[in-house]
Amino acid sequence: MIDARDVNQTTDPAESGFTLLEILVTMVVMSLVMVAALTMLVGMVRNEDRQSANANVATISRETTELLARDLRQSNPLLAPSTDLNKSREAVIQIDDGAGFSELVRYRIDTLTTALVREVLDPATSAVVSTQTLVASTANDAD
């Protein structure tokens, strides 16, 4: 009597398993799939970095604009600009809080670093009390 398990088994050892060519073709195809997946992943990470940097710039710009707008709304008048060419990149405003306290605030572009700087000045001596760098680098095509 013939057993059903014996019918499906082959007796030739050359026909069992995969050939070397089949394994090589499979490895090449899988390598191509992995390279494509890795390329997509690297592209996604770069895109995320770019979007994060853009969001950071937008946040800094918004915060700087809000601070400058608040200072200008509270200012009691914009002080006369200097005629000195070395001070042509600055503006000084006097801010009154409504309770009799006022402070002088100078916005200027640093000539060495091109940073936008906000400085609080002592009203009596015009000495710098505090400094805050608002934008690390500014660009002006006219320069």
The pLDDT of residue 143: 45
β-bridge pairing 90-96 and 75-78: antiparallel
Whole-number Å distance between alpha carbons of 89 and 84: 10
Mean pLDDT in residue range 36-41: 96
pTM of the full predicted structure?
0.55
Q: Which of 19-23, 92-96, 98-102 has the highest mean pLDDT?
A: 19-23
> Distances in Å between the alpha carbon of 29 and those of 19, 25, 26, 49, 50?
16, 6, 5, 31, 32
